[in-house]
Chain A
Amino acid sequence: MRKVLGFAAALLLASNIAAFAFEPGNTECIAPANPGGGWDFTCRQVGKALQDLSIIPGTMQVTNLAGGGGGVAYAEVVNKRNEDLNLIVAASSATATRLAQGAYPGNDMTQVRWIGAVGADYGVIAVAKDSPVQTLPELLDMIKKDPTSVSVAGGSAVGGWDHLKVLLAAKKAGVEDVRSIKYVAFDGGGEAVTQLLAGSVQAFTGDASEAKGFVDSGDIRVISVLAPERLEGDFSSFPTAKEQGIDVIGANWRGFYAPGNMPDDAYNYWVESIGKVYDSKEWKDIMAANGLAPLNLRGTEFQAFVKDSVDSITELSKQIGILK
């Protein structure tokens, strides 16, 4: 532990001298939701890691700015805090989805600078353990034959990320009218899984971390993981969608953005700092504990990645009629 700290301190010293003119002051992380949610958690965990690794001076103030599914915080940053050098804001796939679907009125993704990702939660599609369905193509065939025979439960609203993952898969499998798929929105993955166990619905779409407890206990069977390769650990026995001939990847990433007018030296400082957190052993442990898979994207790479996801979600939303 001490070694890690010493190393980090040395790094910090070196980097301060060499690379950056920017000196962080009273740093702040905005969580665009009330305490307790995913964004709040991202802020607090990363803020704590930044402090523990002595990357920032003192503590990072976490401010909760709830509203509009993150839209209030987004507007606040764009309109009022566009010059703030000490500010980062938690974001995730949900942010990109809402930006793509125009749910932040008057704002788009180019108005802020995207810093980096700190991990991703890959999507899974699962059925109850006693379900006759064994593979993803089987499930999609059932939907093709009779869309009313299958209800899929997920933790996000209609048009939200959990829903889009199913639609993406169905589209790839050749379902003509993806809108006929019955999707039932619940408040979070946990409730959705419970209703799968209760027999109210036939399938579940969510993130790997949401399904973990029930996979371990054998109550549900994951029929596909929406990752480029098989996941490590408990999930390694589950096939990816790609293996089953349905080329879909669904990653719920977590990361940060910064105000749009942040100059390069401050921006680079934050990209480096979040990168250092990502590389630390502490963060690896947190990722493992929270079921996050690696997703190492920083700076311009991350900017491009967010742009890609916004574009593809826009495209899909138009095709299925959420967007006109």
Chain B
Amino acid sequence: METLQSLADGFAVALTFENLLLALLGCFLGTIIGALPGLGPSNGVAILIPLAFSLGLQPTPALILLTSVYYGAMYGGRISSILLNIPGDEPALMTTLDGYPMARAGKAGEALAISGIASFVGAFFATWGLVLLAPQLVKVALLFGPAEYFALFALAFATLGGVASRNQAKAAMAAALGLGIATIGVDGQTGVPRFTFGEVHLYDGIDFLVAIVGLFALSEVFIFLEHRASGDASTQKMEIGRITPPLSMLRETAPAMARSTIIGFIAGVLPGAGASLGSFVSYSFEKRLSDKKGTFGKGDPRGVAAPEAGNNAAAGGALVPMLALGVPGSGTTAVLLAMLLALNITPGPLLFQQQPDVVWGLIAALFIGNFMLLAMNLPLVSLFVRVLLVPTRYLMPAVAMISFVGIYGISGSTFDLMVMIVFGVLGWVLRKLDVPLVPVILGVLLGDQMEKNLRRTMTIHDGDWTKLFDSWLAIGLWTFAVVGFILPLIAGRYFRPKLADSNKVEGADPD
């Protein structure tokens, strides 16, 4: 009851005309930033910090603006995933798998609407989770030592096979490629450069944004160039379809949203796991559980709802360790943390007691932003889908140039642009060979953390490998990982002939 009283106080702080206006502005800018390839929630928030300063905002309004941008970007990322097959930011990666096939099948409007609703569900319940469970959840985060984190990442990669590709060997190859790319740069544990060839630009490693934009956006441009002469049949305008989802689709996806919200939220609470892992685990879990007819990956609405609910729930979950421990659970919360410090607010165990007005004002702002985004996103679906009406001969050059700017504007590095072009060509080749791109990105994203946690475990326990399985939590995670890896291999042996037949009919063109 006390909690609800505090929340009401929070709303009293947040519900002013000025704050609502700021929330609207933040949601709008955030959605745009999220949808632009290369700009995601973390640099979106960082870019807009000066705006908060130059408007001379007090702490609470400044936080309202920036958290609206944060949630807005989490919503926005799905737009380019669905319409263009280019993830607007890294957590929206999984949404391409079913979102783009839906758009190609003339259901772009439905995909956008259902994913908007899923985003809302994920973010809404995650915010409630933050309200009701934050103090208890911190204890969950403390259960995770390096060994448990390593097991968690192993679980993510073990269940990868079959999620993103029909060919497990190719998925494994793609993951290894991504993990290998992640090892480029100065080794965080010992400071030794690895695979840098003495090139100073490689010392920080390869930014996953460069990889993601190159692999997805530029390779898309190459695909269009390749197909142009062979008749405009493959590149002609797509059907938009209806812009509201039918009720039956909502009913069908509701359980997926519910499950994914829980999974995503827990992944968000764990520092270092973050929204990408949240959406990934949500998707693969949902596929395992409910993909009875093999429709995932071919435009199943549940495959859109699951990762979007998952990544937005993770965004809410990531605020738990940031507020309660001062530990950012993701890149974005790291930026928000810096912002809090600048506003003379020290997050940490005592924040809820010492500055309740800020915390509850922030939480109220999250609710407001979330409702605003839902209200903004559903009517705007009809506007977003108009992107598909732009002829590709104008749309694709714009996508390519936005990709370049998205990378250059953040890092100011010509070298990064060159690397991005290399990734573009690589992405085109891999797509031709039907090697999935999602595991590559996951490898680049998670490889560093995975290795670090393995080595931390070894350092703490003087190289004793058995310590990787030293807690019930770790053993549980490993069990899931092993089962998740072996099951599709066995199942594949029985079902492969059938699947191969059905693939010939519907899945001939993997692009």
Q: Would A and B touch once assembled, by the CB under 8 A criterion? A: yes
Q: Mark A90-120, 1 if CB is under 8 A from B, else 0.
A: 0000000000010111000000000000000
Q: A63-B412, A213-B351 are in contact. Are A68 and B191 (CB under 8 A)?
A: no
Return chain B residues, CB-CB under 8 Å to A294: none
Which of B142, B337, B344 makes the CB contact (< 8 A) with A197? B142
**Is the beta-carbon distance between A71 and B203 smaller than 8 angstroms?**
yes
The bracket for how many chain A residues form the interface is 35 or more
> Is B198 on the interface with A (CB-CB < 8 A)?
yes
Return chain A residues, CB-CB under 8 Å to B344: 285, 288-289
B433 CB to nearest chain A CB (Å)? 31
> Is B246 on the interface with A (CB-CB < 8 A)?
no
> Is B295 on the interface with A (CB-CB < 8 A)?
no
Q: Mark B268-283, 1 if CB is under 8 A from A, else 0.
A: 0001100000000000
**Is the beta-carbon distance between B200 and A72 smaller than 8 angstroms?**
yes
Q: A67-B203, A190-B328 are in contact. Are A185 and B460 (CB under 8 A)?
A: no
Return chain B residues, CB-CB under 8 Å to A69: 186, 203-204
Q: Name the interface residues of B41-64: CB closer than 8 Å to any CB of A.
A: 42-43, 45-47, 49-50, 53
A81 CB to nearest chain B CB (Å)? 12
**Is the beta-carbon distance between B326 and A68 smaller than 8 angstroms?**
no
B354 CB to nearest chain A CB (Å)? 8
Q: How far is the CA of A285 from the CA of B334 in the complex (A)?
A: 22
Residue of A nearest to B354 (CB): A216
Q: How far is the CA of A219 from the CA of B49 in the complex (A)?
A: 31
Q: How far is the CA of A169 from the CA of B43 in the complex (A)?
A: 38
> Is A85 on the interface with B (CB-CB < 8 A)?
no
**Is the beta-carbon distance between A67 and B338 smaller than 8 angstroms?**
no
Q: How far is the CA of A66 from the CA of B151 in the complex (A)?
A: 32
Q: How far is the CA of A35 from the CA of B409 in the complex (A)?
A: 11
Q: Name the interface residues of A136-163: CB closer than 8 Å to any CB of B.
A: 148, 151, 157-160
Return chain A residues, CB-CB under 8 Å to B410: 34-35, 64, 66
Q: How far is the CA of A199 from the CA of B460 in the complex (A)?
A: 11
Q: How far is the CA of A186 from the CA of B187 in the complex (A)?
A: 12
**Is the beta-carbon distance between A190 and B327 smaller than 8 angstroms?**
yes
> Is A305 on the interface with B (CB-CB < 8 A)?
no
Q: A35-B43, A40-B46, A67-B415 are in contact. Are A157 and B188 (CB under 8 A)?
A: yes
Q: Name the interface residues of A164-189: CB closer than 8 Å to any CB of B.
A: 182-188
> Is B335 on the interface with A (CB-CB < 8 A)?
yes
**Is the beta-carbon distance between B272 and A187 smaller than 8 angstroms?**
yes
Return chain B residues, CB-CB under 8 Å to A194: 141-142, 271, 321, 325, 327
Residue of B nearest to A47 (CB): B50
Q: A104-B200, A200-B146 are in contact. Are A157 and B271 (CB under 8 A)?
A: no
> Is B143 on the interface with A (CB-CB < 8 A)?
yes
Q: How far is the CA of A205 from the CA of B190 in the complex (A)?
A: 17
> Is B391 on the interface with A (CB-CB < 8 A)?
no
> Is B105 on the interface with A (CB-CB < 8 A)?
no
> Is B3 on the interface with A (CB-CB < 8 A)?
no
> Is B242 on the interface with A (CB-CB < 8 A)?
no
B492 CB to nearest chain A CB (Å)? 37
> Is B350 on the interface with A (CB-CB < 8 A)?
yes
Return chain B residues, CB-CB under 8 Å to A148: 462
Which of B142, B187, B411, B452 makes the CB contact (< 8 A) with A198? B142
> Is A65 on the interface with B (CB-CB < 8 A)?
yes
> Is B6 on the interface with A (CB-CB < 8 A)?
no
Residue of B nearest to A160 (CB): B191
Residue of B nearest to A159 (CB): B191
Return chain A residues, CB-CB under 8 Å to B337: 190
**Is the beta-carbon distance between B346 and A212 smaller than 8 angstroms?**
yes
B17 CB to nearest chain A CB (Å)? 25
Q: A36-B338, A45-B342, A157-B189 are in contact. Are A214 and B462 (CB under 8 A)?
A: no
Q: Name the interface residues of B290-348: CB closer than 8 Å to any CB of A.
A: 321, 325-328, 331, 334-335, 337-338, 341-344, 346-348
Residue of B nearest to A71 (CB): B200
> Is B379 on the interface with A (CB-CB < 8 A)?
no
Return chain A residues, CB-CB under 8 Å to B45: 36
Q: How far is the CA of A281 from the CA of B350 in the complex (A)?
A: 27
Q: Name the interface residues of A22-58: CB closer than 8 Å to any CB of B.
A: 34-37, 40-41, 44-45, 48
> Is B349 on the interface with A (CB-CB < 8 A)?
yes
Residue of A nearest to B343 (CB): A289
> Is A280 on the interface with B (CB-CB < 8 A)?
no
**Is the beta-carbon distance between B145 and A195 smaller than 8 angstroms?**
yes
**Is the beta-carbon distance between A184 and B459 smaller than 8 angstroms?**
yes
> Is B144 on the interface with A (CB-CB < 8 A)?
yes
> Is B236 on the interface with A (CB-CB < 8 A)?
no
A290 CB to nearest chain B CB (Å)? 6
> Is A201 on the interface with B (CB-CB < 8 A)?
yes
**Is the beta-carbon distance between A190 and B145 smaller than 8 angstroms?**
no
> Is B227 on the interface with A (CB-CB < 8 A)?
no
Q: Name the interface residues of A286-303: CB closer than 8 Å to any CB of B.
A: 286, 288-290
> Is A237 on the interface with B (CB-CB < 8 A)?
no
Most buried by A among B47, B331, B456: B456
B147 CB to nearest chain A CB (Å)? 8
Most buried by B among A68, A69, A160, A290: A68
Return chain A residues, CB-CB under 8 Å to B460: 151, 182, 184, 200-201
Q: How far is the CA of A33 from the CA of B196 in the complex (A)?
A: 19
Return chain A residues, CB-CB under 8 Å to B189: 157-158, 185
Q: Mark B368-404, 1 if CB is under 8 A from A, else 0.
A: 0000000000000000000000000000000000000
Q: A63-B412, A285-B344 are in contact. Are A213 and B349 (CB under 8 A)?
A: yes
Q: Mark A281-324, 1 if CB is under 8 A from B, else 0.
A: 00001101110000000000000000000000000000000100
**Is the beta-carbon distance between B351 and A198 smaller than 8 angstroms?**
no
Residue of A nearest to B412 (CB): A65
> Is B413 on the interface with A (CB-CB < 8 A)?
yes
Residue of A nearest to B143 (CB): A198
Q: Mark B141-169, 1 if CB is under 8 A from A, else 0.
A: 11111100000000000000000000000
**Is the beta-carbon distance between B326 and A213 smaller than 8 angstroms?**
yes
Return chain B residues, CB-CB under 8 Å to A63: 412
Residue of A nearest to B341 (CB): A290
CB<8 Å pairs between A and B, sample of 21: A34-B410, A35-B43, A35-B335, A36-B46, A45-B342, A48-B53, A64-B410, A68-B201, A69-B204, A103-B203, A105-B198, A159-B190, A183-B459, A184-B460, A185-B189, A185-B456, A190-B325, A213-B349, A217-B350, A219-B349, A285-B344
- Give residues in B with beta carbon < 8 Å to A: 42-43, 45-47, 49-50, 53, 141-146, 186-191, 198, 200-201, 203-204, 207, 271-272, 321, 325-328, 331, 334-335, 337-338, 341-344, 346-351, 354, 410-413, 415, 452, 456, 459-460, 462
List 7 additional A-B contacts (Cβ < 8 Å) besides A66-B204, A216-B349.
A34-B46, A69-B204, A160-B191, A190-B325, A200-B146, A213-B347, A216-B348
Q: Which 4 A-B pairs have the closest CB atoms?
A: A213-B348, A35-B46, A217-B349, A190-B327
